[in-house]
Amino acid sequence: MATRFELVLVGDSERELRAAGEAAVAEIEEVALRLNRFDRASFARFLEREACSHPVRLDQDLYDLFELCLEVEEESAGAFSITHGSPGGFLLDPEASTVRLSDSETRLDFGAVAKGFALDLAADELRECPALEAALLHGGTSTAIALGTPPMSDAWKLSVRLADDARVVQLTDRALSASAQAGRQHIADPRPGRTADAATFAAVTAPTAALADAWSTALAVLGTDLPPGVRAALQAHDVAPIQRALTPAP
């Protein structure tokens, strides 16, 4: 993921919060190791080698991530995909909790959703801490998840930079993700023969950080060209766009 993660923890026991924070960071580090497509020893690369010839069993968290990615890919008409840049896809077996890649050329890239997935697992770890009253976690300042409310406030307040100004977003037990088609943040359009607009910005809130990551990426790729059913899908999954519009590139 090659990005900075930060955790703000609120509670009365520094010892318990420190232990919980260390466990949460360990979850993030584990995700980085498992999903790193540049490391031949990672689980993602293992799947590329093995799952093209036979189904590979996944733990529940990773199976749920594959399921989420497939669902968003279908509902966004391919604007989001973890197999972009390759001709293949993957098949899931919910009864066996397995994944099989369609062919040996299929390549997995979790870059658009790994931060959110890591934050969700870290948040789950923090929820197990009895001393925790509230928390805010972010990865690279583009994905965040809020637990509870901070002292003396009814929500965590985050500033989202828009084209010419910023908007304050209030989060309580909810996640936020922002994706942009500008400069270093350019996102490849996984749809065959399509090029993503170079000046599109999208930010959404959602129940989980992985879901927010996936849909902010999809909407940044789609720009104003929404396929039929996208708005209904967003509503069904409780995904709320903050802004989805063409903005001037810097």
Integer Cα distance of 62 and 49 in angstroms? 17
pLDDT of residue 200: 76
Alpha-carbon span 69 to 141, nearest angstrom: 22
Predicted confidence at residue 117, as pLDDT, reads 98
pLDDT at 199: 55
Which residues of the chain have a pLDDT value below 50?
Answer: 184, 244-250
Q: Which helix (H) or strand (E) holds 245?
A: strand 240-246
Q: What is the pTM of this model?
A: 0.91
d(CA 1, CA 72): 21
pLDDT at position 244 = 45
Per-residue pLDDT at 245: 41
Q: What is the pLDDT of residue 180?
A: 78
For the chain, give the longest Cα–Cα distance: 56
Which amino acid is present at 204? Answer: V
pLDDT in tens, 108-147: 999 999 999 999 999 999 999 999 999 999 999 999 999 9
Query: How far apart are the C-alpha atoms of 189 and 85, rounded to whole Å?
Result: 9
**97-99-102 Cα angle (round to 5):** 155
- Is the CB of residue 31 less than 8 Å from the CB of residue 114? yes
DSSP H/E element including 100: strand 98-101
Q: Do you know the residue count of the chain?
A: 250
pLDDT at 190: 78
Mean pLDDT, rounded, of the chain:
90
The answer to whether 238 and 205 are in contact (CB under 8 A) is no
- Alpha-carbon distance values, 92 to 76, 101, 110, 213 (Å): 19, 9, 17, 21
Adjacent-strand bridge partners of 175: 145, 206
